[in-house]
Structure 1
Amino acid sequence: MELRHLQHFVAVAEEQHFTRAAERLMVSQSGLSASIRALERELQAPLFVRTTRRVTLTEAGKALLTEAGRILAQVRAAHDAVAAVRGVVRGTLSLGTEQCIAGVCVAKLLAAFRRRHPDVEIRLRQAGSGALAEEIAAGSLDLAFAVTTRADTAQLRCIPLASEPMTVLCHPTHRLASGGAVTPEDLGGEAFVDFHPDWGPRRTTDAAFAAADVQRTVTLEVNDVHSLLDLVQEGLGIAVVPRHFSHKREASALAALPLKGAGETSYDTVAMLPPPEATSPAARALMRLLDDPAVGCG
C-alpha cells in the first residue's frame, strides 16, 4: 500500500468528488481514479459509492478513513520529528478549539507561536468538544482546547487547563435576578438558551441537571457566545454558562447568579493531545508556550 494512494483516498473522501479532489491534489482525474482503483484491488473491497453528483464512503471506506488519517498523521509526525532534531519546528499545526475556552487565549497563543515558528502552517478548526476528541483520536488534529468529555484512552490524553463554576444568566427583571445562588430545582419550568449538545458548556449543564434529576427545556440553541448573551439580554430565556462568560457584558445588562446544589457544576477545560509518542513537535512547542507569562494565557 503506497502512501500516495492513502493521500488520494482521503482527499476524495473529504471532497466527496473526484474532480475537486484531483484539483486539490494537483493530479489528473484519470490518475486519481486509477490510484483509487488500485487501492480497492489491494483491499479487495469497494471504498466509494459513485454517482453522477458525488461519491460517498462504503462501510469499508469508513473503516479505512479512520486508519488512513492516523497513518498519514504519523508520517507527518515522523518528518517533523527529524526536523525538530535539527532544531527546526516546521510542518503543519492543526489545532481545534471551542469558543471562549477558559485557561487559554487562543489568538494570543497562536500569534506568539507564529512569531517563534514562522515555518509552521497553522490550521484552526472550531467545534464542540465531542467532535474535537474524536478528531484527536483519529489523528486529524494535533491538539485541541476543549472541555473534558471522557477519560484518557490509548489515542487521547487530557492536560487540565482551568476549572470554574457555572453561572446562571438572566434578564435584570427576571424573577430570579434579585436573589442569590440558585439550584437546578429553582430553575424547573424555565425556558433555556443554550449551545448545541456537543459544546462544552451544554455538556456541563446537562450533566448538572441530570445529577439533580431535574428536567429542563432548551428552546433556543445557538452556535456562538454572543448570540446566546443577546437572547438572554432580550429576556427570551435564561442560560447556564461558565462564570467568565458573564464578564462579556456590562454588569447592568444581565443578572449573574451562582449555580449551587448540583452534582457537577464545574466547567473543566483541558488541552487534548494524542499519546506522547504521537504528539507532533509543533504541538509540543505550542504547549510550552502555555507556561510563558509573556503570552498571557493563564
Structure 2
Amino acid sequence: MLNAVELRQLTYFEAVVRCGGFTRAAGDLRVAQTAISAQVRRLESELGVTLLARTTRRVRLTEAGELFLDRARRVLAELAAARDEAAQVADVVRGSVAVGTTGVLGGLDLPAVLAGFAARHPGVTLSLRTGLVDALAGDLAAGELDLVLGPVHPGPPSGVLVTPLSDDRLVLVTPPGRAGGDLTAFAGEPFVCLPVGSGLRELLDGLAARLGVDLPVRFEASAPDGVRDLVAAGLGVAVMAASVVERPGPAVGVHEVVPPTSHPPFGVLHRSSMSPAARALHTWMIRSAGPPPGREHRPGTTGPRR
C-alpha cells in the first residue's frame, strides 16, 4: 500500500528517469545498481502499477510512470526546501550574544534559563556583564550589548525596545526585628540605596519629594544584593524590588511600602535589529518567563509600571 513507499524509492526512481537508465543512476547516486533496481521494483509493487518499461537498451516511462514522476519530483522538491529551511534555522543559532544584567531579575532563574538555551543551541557563545540598567541600556544602544535584563524604566534610549517579562513590586526592607510602617516615619533615618543614576535611586528620591520628607542615603551599594547585605548588617533601611529579597540571602525584615508605590516590571531590552543568535535568546527568555505583563513598547513611550 502507499503508506509503505519509502523516500529512497522516490529518489532512486527519479534518478533512473533523469539519468536515462539504472547504470547511470547508480553512478550518479553512488549506489549499487542492483540496489536501485530492487527498490524501484519494490516501489512498483507497493503502488500496484508498472512505472518503467524496461528493454535491454533503455528504460522509458509508462503512462502511470509519467503521472507518478511529477508527484515524486514535487515531494522531493518539498523535502529539499524543508532541509534548506532547517539548515537556515540551525545557522541562526550560531554566533555570540552579549547580555547585560542587573541584580533585579523579577524572579527569573537566569542561570537555569541560560543553561537551557545553551543545551538547545550549543553553537551560541554567551557573555554576561552586570551593572546598572541605565548604563547597560546605553551600551545596548551603542551596540556593545545584544540584550539587557532588568527593570523597565520609562524612556529607553533611541532604537531600544523593551519586552516586559514579569511583574515586580516595591517593598520596604529593614534590619531583622525592625517594624515597618509609613515611610514618613522613617524620615531622617539612614537609607541604603544604589548610586545616583540608578533607577532605584531615582525612585527613592521621587518618593521623598512626593511625601515632602528627607529620606537620606547614607550608604550606597553597587548592586541590589549589596543593598540587602548592608540593611541586614543594621546600617539602615531601604526600598527595593521584592524579587531581590525573595532570593536566598541574609535575613531582613520585609514590609509593604506605605503609601503603596509601584515598581517597574522586569523585562528584556533589545535593539530593533537583532542578530539571529540574539533573537533566538530573546525568544527563549520570553518563553521561559511565561505570559508577559504587557506589550512590547518602543522608545519615547512610558513603560508599564505595576
Normalization by structure 1: what TM-score? 0.61
Partner of 2:262: 265
Q: How does 1:220-259 map to 2 (within 5 A)?
A: 220-248=219-247, 253-259=251-257
Kept in 1, the 8 Å contact 2:100–2:147? The answer is yes
Partner of 1:280: 275
Partner of 1:190: 189
TM-aligned CA deviation for residue 208 of structure 1:
2.9
Task: Call closer, same or farther: CA 1:290–1:190 in 2, change over 3 Å.
Answer: same
Kept in 1, the 8 Å contact 2:148–2:270? The answer is yes
5+ residue gaps, structure 2, are 1-84, 293-306
TM-aligned CA deviation for residue 130 of structure 1:
0.6
Q: How does 1:51-200 map to 2 (within 5 A)?
A: 85=88, 87-88=90-91, 89-152=93-156, 154-174=158-178, 177=179, 179=180, 182-200=181-199
Range with bigger deviation, 284-293 or 135-144: 284-293
TM-aligned CA deviation for residue 232 of structure 1:
1.5
TM-aligned CA deviation for residue 84 of structure 1:
8.0
TM-aligned CA deviation for residue 248 of structure 1:
3.6
Task: Call closer, same or farther: CA 1:226–1:131 in 2, change over 3 Å.
Answer: closer
TM-aligned CA deviation for residue 249 of structure 1:
5.4
5+ residue gaps, structure 1, are 1-81
TM-aligned CA deviation for residue 87 of structure 1:
3.0
Distance (Å, rounded) in 2 between the aligned partners of 1:211 and 1:123: 40
Distance (Å, rounded) in 2 between the aligned partners of 1:196 and 1:94: 24
Q: Which has the larger radius of gyration?
A: 2
Distance (Å, rounded) in 1 between the aligned partners of 2:145 and 2:217: 31
Q: Secondary structure at the match of 1:164?
A: coil
**Which string of whole-angstrom CA distances, capped at 9 and with x for unpartnered residues, describes residues 133-186 of structure 1?**
111111111110122233355411111122222111112343xx1x5xx33322
Kept in 2, the 8 Å contact 1:99–1:225? The answer is yes
Q: Secondary structure at the match of 1:111?
A: helix
Distance (Å, rounded) in 1 between the aligned partners of 2:154 and 2:123: 34
Kept in 2, the 8 Å contact 1:201–1:267? The answer is no
Normalization by structure 2: what TM-score? 0.59
Identity of aligned residues (%): 29
Kept in 2, the 8 Å contact 1:204–1:265? The answer is no
Query: How many pairs were matched up?
Result: 207
Q: Secondary structure at the match of 2:265?
A: strand
Distance (Å, rounded) in 2 between the aligned partners of 1:256 and 1:286: 34
Distance (Å, rounded) in 1 between the aligned partners of 2:89 and 2:254: 52
Task: Call closer, same or farther: CA 1:167–1:187 in 2, change over 3 Å.
Answer: same
Distance (Å, rounded) in 2 between the aligned partners of 1:297 and 1:125: 26
Counterpart residue type for residue 201 of structure 1: L
Q: Secondary structure at the match of 1:139?
A: coil
Task: Call closer, same or farther: CA 1:196–1:204 in 2, change over 3 Å.
Answer: same
Task: Call closer, same or farther: CA 1:188–1:242 in 2, change over 3 Å.
Answer: same
